[in-house]
Every structure is written in C-alpha cells, then in structure tokens.
Amino acid sequence: MVRRFASPFVLLLFVATIGARSAGTRVLVFPGAEAPGLHLIEPAPGAQVPDRPWTMEELLPAMADLESGRNWMQGGRVFEQAGCGICHAMSTYWGGNGLAPDLTAVASKMTRDAILQSILEPSAALNGQYYHTEFTLKDGTVVRGTVVDAEGNALIVAPVMMVPDVTIRIAKADIASEAPSPVSPMPAGLLNPFSRGQILDLLAFLDAGGNPDAAVYQRR
C-alpha cells in the first residue's frame, strides 16, 4: 500500500508517533490536505479535550513560559491540526495556498503578543495584503471572499480561504459596490480545542520559524 502525506511534517509526525498505538492513541494519517482542520492525532476515548474560547487576558500571563521547556513536535502538531498549514507556508514543512502570509519569519515582524492576538482575534488587525473583499450585488446579496481569478466580465471569488478550490463566479455587471471586508478571512476559534500548554508550544513553534534547533528549544 502506498501512503501519501499532507506535508513533510505529517510524515515526520507519523514516524514519531507510530508507537502511540500501544499507549491507547489512534494515529490518523490523511491522504491529502484537501480537508481543513486536519486532526492527525485523535485522543483516545475518554480523554479530556478542551473546547472553549481562549482570551488574551487568560494567555498573556503564561507567555513567560515560552522561554523554556517547549515541545517542538507538539507545536508543529498543533500547527497542522488547527489547519494553519493549509493557508500559511512554514519553513520547509508547509507550502500554504498563497492566500495567507508565509509565517517562517513572522517572529521578526511581530511581537509574541501580536502573534497571539492575530490568532485569537484575526479581525482586530487585518493584513493589508491578505484580506477578503466585500461585494454588494445589485440584488442586495453580499459576498465576501478573495478574488483568485478574472474571466472576461466576471470575477472568480473564493469565499473560504481554507478551501480555495471552492469558488463563486460574480458577473461584474451585477456588482453595485465593493470594499475591503472588516472580517478577516482567517476564522476565529482555531485554538479552542487546545490546552494552554499546546497553545504555548504553537507560539514557540512560530517564534522558532519551525526550526527545531532554535534558541527557544535550547533553554531548559
């Protein structure tokens, strides 16, 4: 049987966790990245999985814990499970889909607090290059999405950034107005299923640009 992996990190994760079956964890490897929110490691039945909205007020006091003891593998796993790699490029592990910024060097452009806020509150500070356009049609219909192509007298719009192959064709003659959408194409709530420690491991992974030899992993 030939097994395909969604990204190089998924292959690495599969190799690193294949022994988890004996510990009561089911290892799930998907054949591609076509489904948003890939869950590669499914908790064993009965495991406690958080599912609640996190806030800046809750997580900011824990940011000091990024200085030591973080887990590179778990940070990459959260990056994969949250669906970040579907849109965002990261190091050599994810190529993204071109509709969101490359996060390999995000730590050189944003503070840790700003990175956290951009995940928890994606509409709070929109990136001027990556945004949805809000089209109001003459019949009153409002369509939000990213223009991915133009065909003569029509625009091809992807309303869901994580599924860019699903598009809507809008005739230019039907458009009454258009403006940048105040709502980020990145969905909120991506961190809801994860624990505080997992979120910190993700932030460390972003801080390191996916590099397992980064300084954040050398401090104990």
Q: In the predicted model, is pLDDT for residue 177 greater than 50?
A: yes
In a domain, 185, yes or no: no
Domain count, the chain: 2
In a domain, 146, yes or no: yes
**161 and 205 in a common domain:** no
Other C-beta atoms within 10 Å of 198: how many?
19
Per-residue model confidence as pLDDT tens digits over 21-67: 334 433 333 333 333 333 333 444 444 555 779 999 999 999 988 88
pLDDT at 89: 93
Q: Clarify whether residues 109 and 204 are in a common domain.
A: yes
Instruction: Tell me what the mean pLDDT of segment 106-129 comes to.
Output: 90
Contacting residues for 52 by C-beta, under 8 A, at least 6 apart: 192
pLDDT tier, 74 (very low <50, low <70, confident <90, very high otherwise): very high
β-pair partners for 42: 26
Residues 144 and 62 grouped into a single domain: no
β-strand partners of 168: 157
Could you tell me what percent of the chain has a pLDDT over 90?
49
Residues 140-161: tens digit of each pLDDT: 999 999 999 999 999 999 888 8
pLDDT of residue 206: 96
Domain that holds residue 23: 8-124+194-217
Residue 188 carries which side chain, given as an amino acid letter? A
The CATH number assigned to the domain holding 143 equals 2.30.30
